Amino acid sequence: MIVSGTVVTDSSTIIEEGAVVVGGSEITAVGDAKALREQYPDHREKRYDIVMPGMVGGHIHSVQSLGRGISEDRELLDWLFDYILPMEATLTADEMETAARLGYLELIETGTTTAIDHLSVAHAERAFEAAGKMGIRGLLGKVLMDQRSPEGLLEPTADALGETERLIKEYHGSFDDRIRYAVTPRFAVSCTEECLRGSRDLADRYEGVRIHTHASENQGEIETVKTDTGMRNIHWLDEVGLTGDDVVLAHCVWTDDSERELLAETGTHVTHCPSSNMKLASGIAPVVDYLDRGINVALGNDGPPSNNTLDPFTEMKQASALQKVDTLDPTVTPAPLIFEMATYNGAQAAGFDRLGKLREGWRADIIGLSTDTTRATPLYDELSHLVFSARGEDVEFTMVDGEVLMADGEVQVVDAAGIRQHAHEVAESLDLEAARERAQEVKP
Q: Is the peptide bond before 308 cis (omega within 30 degrees of 0)?
A: yes
Please work out, in degrees rounded to the nearest 5, the angle formed at the alpha carbon of residue 354 by the alpha carbons of 287 and 15: 85
Q: How confident is the model at residue 437 (pLDDT cuts 50, 70, 90)?
A: low
Q: What is the pTM of this model?
A: 0.96
Between CA 294 and CA 298, with CA 296 as vertex, the angle to 5 degrees is 145
b vs e for 336-370, b when ≥16 Cβ sit within 10 Å of the residue's Cβ? ebbbbbbbbbbbbbbbbeebbbbbeebbbbbbbbb
Please report, as a single letter, which amino acid is at residue 344. Answer: Y
**Residue 391, φ and ψ in degrees, nearest 5:** -135, 165
Q: Where are the domains of the chain?
A: 2-53+362-411, 55-350
Average pLDDT of span 100-113: 98
- Weakest mean pLDDT among 73-87, 205-219, 260-274, 298-312: 73-87
State the Cα–Cα distance between residues 356 and 380, nearest whole angstrom: 24
CATH pick for 55-350 out of 3.40.1550.10, 1.10.3720.10, 3.40.50.10490, 3.20.20.140 = 3.20.20.140
In this predicted model, what pLDDT tens digit does every residue of 344-377 receive, in sequence order? 999 999 999 999 999 999 999 999 999 999 999 9
The answer to whether residues 255 and 284 touch, using CB atoms and an 8 Å cutoff, is no
Per residue in 191-242, pLDDT tens? 999 999 999 999 999 999 999 999 999 999 999 999 999 999 999 999 999 9
Q: What whole-number distance in Å separates Cα of residue 272 and Cα of residue 75?
A: 18
Same fold, 2-53+362-411 and 55-350: no
* pLDDT tens by residue, 12-47: 999 999 999 999 999 999 999 999 999 999 999 999
- Name which of 94, 93, 102 is nearest 67 in CA terms: 102
Rounded distance between C-alpha atoms, residue 120 and residue 183, angstroms: 12
E strands, 292-430, are 297-299, 366-369, 395-400, 403-407, 410-411
Selection from 214, 236, 224 nearest residue 280 by Cα: 214
Of all residues in the chain, the percent with pLDDT exceeding 70 is: 98
Q: CA gyration radius for the chain?
A: 21
Fold that domain 2-53+362-411 belongs to in CATH? Urease, subunit C; domain 1 (2.30.40)
**CB proximity list for 54: less than 8 A, separation 6 or greater:** 111, 112, 113, 114, 137, 343, 365, 366, 367, 398, 399, 400
Identify the CA nearest to 177 among candidates 368, 344, 26: 26
Single-letter code of the amino acid located at 422: H
Predicted pLDDT of residue 434: 67
Q: C-alpha angle with apex 374: 370 to 375, nearest 5 degrees?
A: 75
**Bridge partner residues of 6 (DSSP):** 50
| Residue 59: per-residue pLDDT | 98
Mean pLDDT of the chain: 96
